[in-house]
């Protein structure tokens, strides 16, 4: 059994299932409402698969107006609503409760406007991340945030989680690339935040919505900033025998003034797993860095020369430069298959804490020690330029007690991240997974103001229940409100 | 106005918290002053609070691109410190004293509270995109924090975003964490004279569709300016490519030194120094700039462009209602009163106004912080 508690469903709501479904079918074309358990079953979990629960019903609206209609019905009936994109959340952000209605973005798939003169694209939020760049490709533009899940995940999920990606060192995360959004509030009211201009007027509600994990409203349309495609990109691979030295190399590159688009780090556990899996030809050493730079061929040569100069002062085990597209692919091949390679060894749990770059070596060492204490193996693969770590804890889901041990180990790692000046989650979000650890990073007052902000948007707390805020904190907050 | 006179200047977060808690209990309005370089007045019955003694750098880690600093620290002091490490606040906050008057020194707290961003905002994002974390005291005197000191952080709601640009109406910042970026090693400007606004925006749209990382696109007095930045070898290469693209237009090249002076002058609005009329900041869809400036010209004032046409500065007559009616997209903010009446900020639509108002009550239940400012 897993250890994260979800509240018991409201029996009164479960009893009213037929009434609620009928009301939804009256407000929307009936085929957009799914209530047969055989079908709602497909929505029982996201990528945090240890937690599952089918919802009461699922609604698949095609327009903002249909989302608003569904929200209005749920609001009138006091039914919790769980927004859902592609369900790739690693934090259980899209996990339903039995008494909730899922509002899915599956059919919000329109590309509404591409404007390269003003450098934006307007989409319905159910489109996948990768397809946005696909749509822009013929125009010579792309959408920068690129989570590894980009083939499947939606813009809606990206906005809700403020997702990042390998290239955010240079281009920023979702919030830095989001210009506007259409948001449906719990009441069914529709608001437009931001737009096609370059800054908000008044309080930056758009900035608040981004990363709010479906707690404040449902985002149905978005205006995204688009960028011209770079002339080219090329990675180098640098191997070191110590995590400290690799960390130093990262800091020195950053200080040099070269801003690579990505600096990725893999430790020996991951490198070995990758080698067994795809034979990427990585050196067997403690730390492998992949650094990618962009520009014209000449600019790339110049930047790589600068990086080489820095790397060489630290005696690398290997410095491998991609001379052509095939060699570039070979360098990235291992990194891209890292999660899959670890998955071949065992089940894994992927963490997402961020630490200050200077604390990377210490954090890695402590993770190694914790691994021994908990008796579970861990591999590290992460975005080193910004200190966003992804420790992968290996465990066996079929061994009783293993998941709990992995969760305890994970919690220790996240506490460590906060202790060294970092945070619980760099890009995956809190969801249910890190909900109860929020008190490690925030005081009661810090959490209380966040919950008071939720009150403003969702006074009845119908949106995405039992996520983000520790159950105890939210219960205390809400009973204080009621008094 | 000299800032420190007759002002309360708490020396610590704790002291500030006590002052605000008391003001909250007594419902005493508080005017918050950083450098006090802004224009809106204050009434005599307010408590005036200066952040002057909440100053100093907490930590600066160039290898992590992070700076933790207290709000009363002057922007120029920060910029000098970063420059010694070849870094900068890439969003390029402007010193608008030339047009706003005032004899204080702009502070980082004021910059964050106003979400001030200069020409490079076009490429690197606004102040809010470079704000990693905040500590602040809310309208009840509670000491709160949000975000942190790391570059990637999605833990809980992002309150830093609403604090940034809230002009002190939600709380008093006591510490801000900024992302710093390497300063460009080389720079150059291409000047294209003899262009109308519409022509300039066309040039901008073409240049900004190239991968040459244009780090400034502004227009003033009939000349369009494109700023190029990068590593030593990138700049001549990019310059050459761009000049080839616009080869049938007249182009002047401005060297690094000239470039630095020019963009300082552009961002500090030198061209409006010494004027007294209302000064407006309009954020619009760039390709609308031609039509909008046509309407502004009809009102009788002068204008310049930044952000590839996305930002129009307008200095001249006209009411807020007239100006806002001239905008097919975006909004207009009054930066200097100059006798203009009515709200400085574009009033939001009703539901957004309601949410904003409730948010303000959440942070500041007695509505004592900068009352009147940002009101709908
Ligand atoms: C293999 C793998 C690799 C990954 N790599 C990365 C990575 O590199 N970087 C990264 O940041 N993440 C990564 N993720 C995590 C995940 O893909 C992202 O969080 C993604 O943005 C989720 O999108 P989704 O469409 O799947 O959303 P879902 O999982 O369906 O939902 C995510 C959250 O968004 C909310 N939500 C959904 N739709 C809406 C809406 N319309 N309005 C409001 N809220 C809504 C949900 O309630 C939920 O809280 C990875 C996941 C996997 C499985
Ligand atoms: C409506 C408006 C729009 C502006 N837009 C721009 C712009 O686009 N670009 C630009 O360069 N300049 C802009 N300015 C000018 C800008 O205010 C100053 O350039 C900058 O803030 C200077 O800092 P200061 O320390 O003098 O701030 P001050 O003038 O002292 O304060 C500016 C604002 O921030 C608040 N404030 C100051 N310190 C704190 C703190 N620690 N915590 C909370 N609130 C605080 C003040 O109450 C005030 O509302 C604008 C000013 C106004 C009034």
Cα separation, B233 vs A379, whole angstroms: 39
Interface test with chain A among B133, B150, B237, B357, by most A beta carbons within 10 Å: B150
Ligand 2 site residues (CB inside 6 A) read B 32-38, 40, 51, 71, 93-94, 96, 104, 106-107, 109-111, 113-114, 116, 167-168, 172-173, 281, 333, 335, 344, 370, 373
Centroid of ligand 2 to alpha carbon of A294 (angstroms): 36
Atom of ligand 1 nearest to the CA of A108: 41
For the stretch A66-92, pLDDT in tens is 999 999 999 999 999 999 999 999 999
Do domains A111-228 and A233-275+284-331 share one topology? The answer is no
For the stretch A8-51, pLDDT in tens is 999 999 999 999 999 999 999 999 999 999 999 999 999 999 99
CA atoms A301, A304, A310, A316: torsion sign: negative
Nearest Cα residue to atom 19 of ligand 1: A89
- What chain B holds in terms of domains, given with CATH numbers, is 1-183+346-376 (3.30.465.10), 186-267 (3.30.70.2190), 270-336 (3.30.70)
| Residues of chain A contacting B159 with CB distance shorter than 8 Å | 208, 449-450, 453
Residue A443 pLDDT level (bands cut at 50, 70, 90): very high
Q: Which ligand sits nearest to residue A214's alpha carbon?
A: 1
Q: Which of residues 27-56 of B touch A (CB under 8 A)?
A: none
Tell me the pLDDT of chain B averaged across its residues. Answer: 94
Alpha carbon of B280: minimum distance to chain A alpha carbons (Å): 13
Check pLDDT > 50 for residue A441. Answer: yes
Across A304-308, average pLDDT: 96
The phi and psi torsions of B114 (rounded to 5 degrees) equal -100, 0
- Pick the range with the lowest mean pLDDT from A4-18, A55-69, A251-265, B217-231: A251-265
Helix (H) or strand (E) holding B178: strand B171-179
Task: Report residue B278 as tokens.
Answer: 């209302």
- Pick the range with the lowest mean pLDDT from B38-42, B174-178, B322-326: B38-42
Across A433-460, average pLDDT: 97
Res B376: pLDDT: 53
Pairing of strands A57-59, A101-104: parallel
Tell me the pLDDT of chain A averaged across its residues. Answer: 95
The phi and psi torsions of A38 (rounded to 5 degrees) equal -60, -30
Res B63: pLDDT: 87
Nearest Cα residue to atom 13 of ligand 1: A147
* E-only strand ranges, A33-86: 33-34, 57-59, 81-84
| Residues of chain A contacting B289 with CB distance shorter than 8 Å | none
B126–A198 C-beta distance less than 8 A: yes
Q: How far is CA B189 from CA A246, A432, B122, B210, B306, in A?
A: 38, 51, 15, 16, 14
Residue A228 pLDDT level (bands cut at 50, 70, 90): very high
Cα separation, A435 vs A215, whole angstroms: 13
Fold adopted by A233-275+284-331? Alpha-Beta Plaits (3.30.70)
Cα separation, B354 vs A90, whole angstroms: 34
Pairing of strands B171-179, B131-138: antiparallel
Across B355-360, average pLDDT: 97
Cα separation, B289 vs B311, whole angstroms: 8
B98 touches chain A (CB under 8 A): no
| Residues of chain B contacting A228 with CB distance shorter than 8 Å | 208-211
Res B40: pLDDT: 60
Q: Is the CB of A85 under 6 A from ligand 1?
A: yes
A176–B129 C-beta distance less than 8 A: yes
Check pLDDT > 90 for residue B124. Answer: yes
Q: Which of A173, A171, A154 is nearest to A214 (CA)?
A: A154
C-alpha count within 13 angstroms, C-beta hemisphere, residue A214: 33
The phi and psi torsions of B94 (rounded to 5 degrees) equal -100, 150
Check pLDDT > 50 for residue A220. Answer: yes
B88 touches chain A (CB under 8 A): no
Cα angle: B125, vertex B130, B134; to 5 degrees = 145
Res A230: pLDDT: 95
Q: Which ligand sits nearest to residue B52's alpha carbon?
A: 2
Across A449-459, average pLDDT: 98
For the stretch B222-233, pLDDT in tens is 999 999 999 888
Centroid of ligand 2 to alpha carbon of B41 (angstroms): 13
Residue A257 pLDDT level (bands cut at 50, 70, 90): confident
| Residues of chain B contacting A387 with CB distance shorter than 8 Å | 64, 150-152
Cα separation, A258 vs A312, whole angstroms: 16
Cα separation, A471 vs A453, whole angstroms: 17
| Residues of chain A contacting B284 with CB distance shorter than 8 Å | 197
Percent of chain A with pLDDT over 90: 91
Residue A200 pLDDT level (bands cut at 50, 70, 90): confident
Q: Which of residues 114-153 of B touch A (CB under 8 A)?
A: 115, 117, 121-122, 125-126, 128-129, 138, 142-146, 148-153
Cα separation, B272 vs B313, whole angstroms: 9
Q: Which of B27, B30, B79, B65 is nearest to B51 (CA)?
A: B30
Check pLDDT > 90 for residue B45. Answer: no
Taking the whole predicted model, whether its pTM rises above 0.95 is answered as: yes
Q: Which of B21, B365, B354 is nearest to A449 (CA)?
A: B365
A118–B374 C-beta distance less than 8 A: no
CATH number of A111-228: 3.30.465.10
Check pLDDT > 70 for residue A196. Answer: yes
Cα separation, B31 vs A376, whole angstroms: 56
Check pLDDT > 90 for residue B104. Answer: no
Res B6: pLDDT: 67
| Residues of chain B contacting A383 with CB distance shorter than 8 Å | 152
Kindly list the strands in the beta sheet with A101-104, ordered across the sheet, starting from the edge strand earlier in the chain: A33-34, A57-59, A101-104, A81-84
Res B38: pLDDT: 61
Check pLDDT > 60 for residue A203. Answer: yes
Alpha carbon of A398: minimum distance to chain B alpha carbons (Å): 31
Cα separation, A398 vs B239, whole angstroms: 61
Atom of ligand 1 nearest to the CA of A104: 38
Q: Which residue of B has its CA nearest to A229?
A: B211
Centroid of ligand 2 to alpha carbon of A422 (angstroms): 29
Helix (H) or strand (E) holding B192: strand B186-192
CATH number 3.30.70.2740 given to A346-428: yes
Across B322-338, average pLDDT: 93
Percent of chain A with pLDDT over 70: 100
Across A469-479, average pLDDT: 95
Residue A2 pLDDT level (bands cut at 50, 70, 90): low
Indicate the domain borders of chain A.
11-104, 111-228, 233-275+284-331, 346-428, 442-482
Helix (H) or strand (E) holding A364: helix A360-374
Check pLDDT > 60 for residue B3. Answer: no
Across A427-443, average pLDDT: 97
Atom of ligand 1 nearest to the CA of A150: 17
Cα separation, A228 vs A146, whole angstroms: 15
Residue A482 pLDDT level (bands cut at 50, 70, 90): confident
A354–B233 C-beta distance less than 8 A: no
A198–B307 C-beta distance less than 8 A: yes
Q: Is the CB of A84 under 6 A from ligand 1?
A: yes
CATH number 3.30.43.10 given to A11-104: yes
The phi and psi torsions of A121 (rounded to 5 degrees) equal -130, 140
A302–B233 C-beta distance less than 8 A: yes
Of B125, B231, B310, the CB nearest to A176: B125
For the stretch B291-305, pLDDT in tens is 999 999 999 999 999
Res B41: pLDDT: 60
A257–B211 C-beta distance less than 8 A: no
Task: Report residue B89 as tokens.
Answer: 């606040």
CB pairs under 8 A between A and B: 256
Q: Is the CB of A83 under 6 A from ligand 1?
A: yes
Q: Which residue of B has its CA nearest to A172?
A: B129
- Locus of tokens 């219960």: A475
For the stretch A109-163, pLDDT in tens is 999 999 999 999 999 999 999 999 999 999 999 999 999 999 999 999 999 999 9
Residue A1 pLDDT level (bands cut at 50, 70, 90): very low
Check pLDDT > 60 for residue B1. Answer: no
Check pLDDT > 50 for residue B364. Answer: yes
B242 touches chain A (CB under 8 A): no
Centroid of ligand 1 to alpha carbon of A151 (angstroms): 12
Across B192-215, average pLDDT: 97
Q: Which of A203, A151, A164, A155 is nearest to A182 (CA)?
A: A155
For the stretch B141-188, pLDDT in tens is 999 999 999 999 999 999 999 999 999 999 999 999 999 999 999 999
């Amino acid at each position: 059994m897993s250890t994260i508690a979800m509240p018991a469903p409201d029996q009164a709501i479960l009893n009213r299932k037929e009434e609620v479904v009928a009301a939804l079918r009256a407000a929307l074309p009936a085929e957009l409402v799914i209530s047969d358990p055989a079908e709602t079953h497909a929505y029982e979990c996201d990528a945090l698969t240890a937690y599952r629960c089918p919802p009461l019903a699922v609604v698949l609206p095609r327009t903002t107006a249909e989302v608003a209609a569904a929200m209005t019905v749920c609001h009138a009936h006091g039914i919790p609503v769980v927004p859902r994109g592609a369900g790739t959340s690693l934090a259980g952000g899209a996990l339903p409760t039995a008494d909730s209605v899922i509002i899915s973005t599956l059919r919000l798939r329109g590309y509404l406007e591409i404007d390269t003169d003003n450098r934006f694209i307007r989409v319905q939020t159910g489109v996948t991340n990768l397809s946005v760049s696909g749509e822009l490709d013929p125009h010579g533009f792309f959408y920068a945030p690129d989570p590894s899940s980009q083939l499947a995940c939606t813009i809606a999920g990206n906005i809700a989680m403020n997702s990042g990606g390998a290239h955010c060192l240079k281009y920023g995360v979702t919030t830095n690339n989001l210009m506007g959004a259409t948001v449906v509030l719990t009441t069914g009211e529709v608001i437009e935040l931001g737009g096609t201009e370059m800054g908000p007027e008044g309080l930056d509600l758009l900035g608040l919505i981004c990363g709010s994990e479906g707690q404040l409203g449902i985002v149905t349309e978005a205006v995204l900033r688009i960028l011209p495609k770079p002339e080219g990109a090329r990675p180098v691979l640098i191997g070191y025998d110590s995590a400290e030295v690799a960390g130093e190399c990262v800091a020195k590159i950053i200080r040099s003034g070269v801003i690579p688009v990505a600096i990725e780090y893999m430790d020996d556990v991951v490198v070995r797993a990758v080698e067994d899996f795809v034979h990427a030809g990585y050196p067997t050493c403690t730390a492998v860095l992949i650094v990618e730079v962009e520009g014209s061929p000449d600019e790339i040569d110049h930047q790589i020369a600068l990086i080489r100069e820095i790397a060489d002062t630290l005696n690398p085990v290997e410095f491998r430069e991609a001379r052509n597209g095939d060699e570039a692919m070979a360098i990235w091949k291992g990194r891209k298959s890292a999660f899959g390679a670890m998955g071949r060894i065992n089940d894994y749990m992927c963490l997402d804490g961020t630490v200050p770059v200077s604390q990377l070596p210490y954090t890695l060492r402590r993770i190694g020690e914790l691994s021994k204490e908990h008796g579970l193996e861990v591999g590290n693969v992460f975005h080193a330029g910004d200190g966003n770590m992804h420790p992968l804890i290996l465990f066996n889901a079929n061994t009783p007690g293993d998941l709990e041990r992995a969760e305890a180990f994970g919690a220790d790692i996240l506490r460590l991240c906060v202790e060294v000046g970092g945070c619980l989650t760099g890009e995956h979000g809190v969801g249910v997974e890190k909900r109860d650890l929020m008190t490690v990073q925030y005081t009661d007052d810090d959490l209380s103001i966040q919950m008071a902000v939720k009150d403003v948007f969702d006074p009845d707390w119908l949106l995405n229940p039992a996520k983000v805020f520790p159950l105890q904190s939210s219960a205390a907050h809400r009973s204080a409100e009621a008094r | 106005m000299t800032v420190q006179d007759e002002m309360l200047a708490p020396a610590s977060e704790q002291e500030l918290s006590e002052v605000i808690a008391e003001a909250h209990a007594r419902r005493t309005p508080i005017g918050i002053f950083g450098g006090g370089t802004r224009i809106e007045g204050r009434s005599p019955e307010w408590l005036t609070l200066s952040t002057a003694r909440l100053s100093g750098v907490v930590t600066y880690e160039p290898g992590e691109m992070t700076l933790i600093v207290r709000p009363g620290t002057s922007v120029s002091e920060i910029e000098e410190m970063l420059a010694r490490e070849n870094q900068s606040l890439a969003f390029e906050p402007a010193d608008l004293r030339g047009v706003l008057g005032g004899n204080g020194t702009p502070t980082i707290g004021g910059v964050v509270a106003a979400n001030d961003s200069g020409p490079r905002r076009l490429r690197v994002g606004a102040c809010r995109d470079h704000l990693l974390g905040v500590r602040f005291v809310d309208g009840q005197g509670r000491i709160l924090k949000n975000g942190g000191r790391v570059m990637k952080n999605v833990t809980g709601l992002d309150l830093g975003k609403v604090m940034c640009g809230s002009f002190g109406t939600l709380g008093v910042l006591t510490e801000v964490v900024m992302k710093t970026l390497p300063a460009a090693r080389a720079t150059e400007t291409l000047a294209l004279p003899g262009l109308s606004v519409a022509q300039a925006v066309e040039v901008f749209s073409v240049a900004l569709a190239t991968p040459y990382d244009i780090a400034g696109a502004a227009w003033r007095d009939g000349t369009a300016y494109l700023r190029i930045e990068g590593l030593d070898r990138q700049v001549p290469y990019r310059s050459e490519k761009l000049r080839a693209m616009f080869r049938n237009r007249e182009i002047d090249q401005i060297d690094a030194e000239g470039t630095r002076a020019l963009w300082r002058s552009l961002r500090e609005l030198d061209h409006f120094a010494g004027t007294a009329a209302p000064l407006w900041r309009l954020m619009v869809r760039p390709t609308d700039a031609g039509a909008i400036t046509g309407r502004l010209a009809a009102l009788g004032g002068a204008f310049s462009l930044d952000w590839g046409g996305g930002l129009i500065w307008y200095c001249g007559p006209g009411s807020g209602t007239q100006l806002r009616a001239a905008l097919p997209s975006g909004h207009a903010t009054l930066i200097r009163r100059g006798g203009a009446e009515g709200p400085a900020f574009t009033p939001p639509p009703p539901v957004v106004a309601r949410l904003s108002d409730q948010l303000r009550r959440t942070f500041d239940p007695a509505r004592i912080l900068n009352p009147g400012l940002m009101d709908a």
